[in-house]
Structure 1
Amino acid sequence: LYPLPPLFLLFFIYSVDSSVTDSLRFLVVGDIGGIPVWETTSVQKEVARSMIARSKGIKSVINLGDNFYFTGVMSDTDPRFNTTFEDVYRETRVPWLTIAGNHDHFGNVKAQISYTEKSKLWYFPSPYYNVSYRAGNTTVDVVMLDTIDLCGNSVDVQSGKIWDVIKDAIKKKWNGEKMEPKNKKKAEEQWAWLENTLNNSKSDYLFVAGHYPVYSISSHGPTNCLVDRLIPLLKKYGVTAYFSGHDHSLQHLESDGITYIVSGAGSRSDQSTAYKERLAQQGVTTCWHYPPFSLLNILSQLGVNDGGFVELNVRKRNTTVLYFNKEGDTKYTCTLYPRWMERPMNGMGKSIDEEIGWEL
């Protein structure tokens, strides 16, 4: 469907081998896009420093979209590639597997794709793609989706204007049921590609990533389009976990054997748990959510309160998921298991704040 990226990038798509160890480490972050006034936020810079401190030995950063608030970029020479991304994350020194968020779609997503050829970090070869990794006998497939092409853009911020974005945050309203793809043929092509890609995966771990959450207890809530069409595929092909951003929080949710990880606090945070009870009634277990209540939440769009990111430490028989706040403190940890192993029923995870004396 899309032209292959340059040859020097092909190894990122098909395999990254390591003979030194059987483990693979990734960072997962979303909604890093600063704000137009400052182009970065104080939270974004703090999160970036903590990510850089954890970046030694990392294979890739999984970047979940909303890369440039509020209206994306229009060309691959836009200075915000430097001010919002390169200048902030250069010291991570690893590929950033990138997809578009809803705010990126207010601009020119093709410009973000073409910027791949200009950067040593930025990796965005096409609107959706897959990457395979191997370390010893441990294998991982990562599938990156454009959920805006699949489901449509957010109703309350159709114009992408700053006032509409602020109004959307104030209303705490999610109109997912009214969303539909702008180009239905394009959406169906991606759905077909996705099913074929999942069907072909034989890896120990299969991760799917998109900007919109399938489930989220925070302000935006679940995405009905993904609940209806993506969940059956996640179950059918034994997907290990689904990663998303969009809501500016860190979450661990479980439903029907699938793990849902929200990591959308790369430049700001939102304490909302507006959809927790509704999702509980649908059988979705909320294992953990961050940040906690703060009076500064009213300033969340300015990126002055809290933030965080996620780390995956993948091994043959289990994967440790670590949730960090902006200072780089571990706040929560849980475990994922390979697709061929039955999941043990021994608890969902550990909140570090509640496990006094527990050491990682």
Structure 2
Amino acid sequence: MLVYFLIIIPVLTLSFLAFNYWQERRYRRKPFYKLSDVGWQRQNPPAQEEVVHSVALIGDIGAVATDGTDPVLQLVRQWQLEAQDKGSMIFLGDNLYPIGLPETGNRHRALAEARLDTLIESVKCYSGQGIFISGNHDWFKGREGGYEQMLRQEQYVQEHLPQTHSYLPPKGCPGPTSLQLAAGLLLVVINTQWFVQRGFKPLGSKYDCPYTDIEEFFVRLNKLLKRNTHQHVLIAAHHPLYSNAMHGGKFTIKQHVFPLTALHKRFLIPLPLFGSLYPFYRKMFGAYEDMSHRKYKRMRKRLLRIFHRYNNIIYAGGHDHNLQHFEVQGNHYIVSGSGSKTAFVKKGGRATFTLEELGFFVLNYYQNGEVWIECRVVSDTDEGGQVAFRKKVSTTVQNFAKQDFPQPA
């Protein structure tokens, strides 16, 4: 009996792993759509309505090609031609891999400068505006010295990109920083890395931050959203609040069997069962950049508690290297983090749409009050890329007013 037991258990385990691996292989790099959105191709934006403003959400583009051949920047150029001066391109953090912009003399400095110059040039040649946000890699991957690393990047961008709001929030402060993109459309930028940063992080007037207690951040954010229920609000940050990918605790069967691939994709050393300890730890306790980590979890809980009070919000982040959309309690949550890398994303759950491909999300705001989200991805057959998903966003904001809106404090 013991012999049969010792044979049956491994066979069942291997069969389970093989079946799940086969399933993952079937849908990897294929789009997942929630049942109600399967026929999204038959839905089209209002052809006769004017686009008031268009926003390109470009996340985790830190490994951008510097020779003019980068496929995502080619997609961005196509969007620029369409949006013209009625657009904003927002870099959602992790603008430079692997460690942001190091000091002069560091072996990573030359490549980092070349990549940052490429991104800055993509904004300079555009008639609209560009905004950079910091991610964990820009903060030296959350280590000691990350604050100085981030300030170095901010200063470089501001020196080479003469736009008033080129880097937000300023000085590494938590925010929230608000910017009126168009009549009826407010951008709010949050520095989510501040909340999970391990090393020093600024707070108080000494560092040009407007408050000394972080609780004031949440008070200000709630007041800002409460004052602007009459218009659409786009919240841009680096860290997502919903994710079906690694930072959300989702791992592939391959990562369970070959856990050392987390260090390098070529480390294919099988460690079944024992290898599951790493994904289990990341899912239950988390690294500093994971949703399950106590700092990230606390930040996410506080933000969602505020956002759930309103229903005119689109929240956009990067961090996970894929494309995702969630609709929760009337608000929309986007992960647009495949600007230069792609990684596994699980289908189903609370997600409306998921895809593991290079690309980014575009938000189009129309004069009649409609808002459409659009996912654009790199295509081998079409230089202009392809639209992988499109959806009209339900909103309580009826239309864009003709008058100008005052700039929020």
Q: For the superposition of Structure 1 and Structure 2, which TM-score range results when normalised by the shorter chain?
A: 0.5 to 0.7
Q: Is 2:196 the counterpart of 1:151?
A: yes
What's the counterpart of residue 29 of structure 1? 58
Amino acid at match of 1:318: E
* TM-score, normalised with respect to structure 2: 0.58
Q: Distance in 2 between matches of 1:152 and 1:26?
A: 28
Report the number of matched residues.
Answer: 268
Shift of 1:312: 1.2
Amino acid at match of 1:334: K
Q: Is 2:148 the counterpart of 1:141?
A: no
Q: Distance in 1 between matches of 2:230 and 2:340?
A: 32
Shift of 1:40: 3.6
What's the counterpart of residue 19 of structure 2? none
TM-aligned CA distance change 1:121 to 1:235, over 3 Å: farther
Q: Distance in 1 between matches of 2:69 and 2:395?
A: 32
TM-aligned CA distance change 1:187 to 1:73, over 3 Å: farther
What's the counterpart of residue 332 of structure 1? 389
Shift of 1:68: 1.0
1:117 to 137, 150, 158: 158
Q: Select the structure of larger CA radius of gyration.
A: 2
1:130-180 deviation line (CA, Å, top 9, x unaligned): 11022xxx4100111110112335xxxx9xxxxxxxxxxxxxxxxxxxxxx
Could you say what secondary structure the match of 2:70 adopts? helix
Amino acid at match of 1:331: A
Shift of 1:89: 5.7
Shift of 1:42: 9.3
TM-aligned CA distance change 1:76 to 1:60, over 3 Å: farther
Q: Distance in 2 between matches of 1:97 and 1:200?
A: 24
Q: Is 2:178 the counterpart of 1:130?
A: yes
TM-aligned CA distance change 1:187 to 1:76, over 3 Å: farther
What's the counterpart of residue 117 of structure 2? 86
Amino acid at match of 1:95: Q
Q: Percent identity?
A: 24
1:225-260 deviation line (CA, Å, top 9, x unaligned): 343100121122434211010000000112121211
Could you say what secondary structure the match of 1:23 adopts? strand
TM-aligned CA distance change 1:40 to 1:192, over 3 Å: farther
Could you say what secondary structure the match of 1:84 adopts? helix
In structure 1, stretches of 5+ residues that fail to align are: 1-19, 159-180, 292-305, 343-360
TM-aligned CA distance change 1:182 to 1:124, over 3 Å: closer
Amino acid at match of 1:117: Q
What's the counterpart of residue 30 of structure 2? none
**Which structure 2 residues correspond to residues 96-245 of structure 1 after superposition, within 5 A?**
96-106=130-140, 107=146, 108-120=149-161, 123-125=166-168, 126=170, 127=172, 128=175, 129-134=177-182, 138-152=183-197, 187-221=214-248, 222=291, 223-245=296-318
Q: Distance in 2 between matches of 1:317 and 1:76?
A: 48
Q: Distance in 2 between matches of 1:59 and 1:117?
A: 20
Shift of 1:115: 2.8
Could you say what secondary structure the match of 1:104 adopts? coil
1:17-71 deviation line (CA, Å, top 9, x unaligned): xxx956211111110111xxxx748998110011111112252112110111121
- Structure 1 stretches of 4+ with a deviation exceeding 4 A read 41-44, 75-82, 181-186
Contact 2:93/2:135 (<8 A) preserved: yes
TM-aligned CA distance change 1:237 to 1:254, over 3 Å: closer
* TM-score, normalised with respect to structure 1: 0.66
In structure 2, stretches of 5+ residues that fail to align are: 1-48, 141-145, 204-211, 249-290, 380-384, 400-409
Contact 1:47/1:266 (<8 A) preserved: yes
Q: Distance in 2 between matches of 1:238 and 1:83?
A: 41
Shift of 1:76: 9.6
CA RMSD, 1 decimal: 3.2
Shift of 1:287: 0.9
What's the counterpart of residue 371 of structure 2? 319
TM-aligned CA distance change 1:194 to 1:115, over 3 Å: farther
Q: Distance in 2 between matches of 1:215 and 1:33?
A: 22
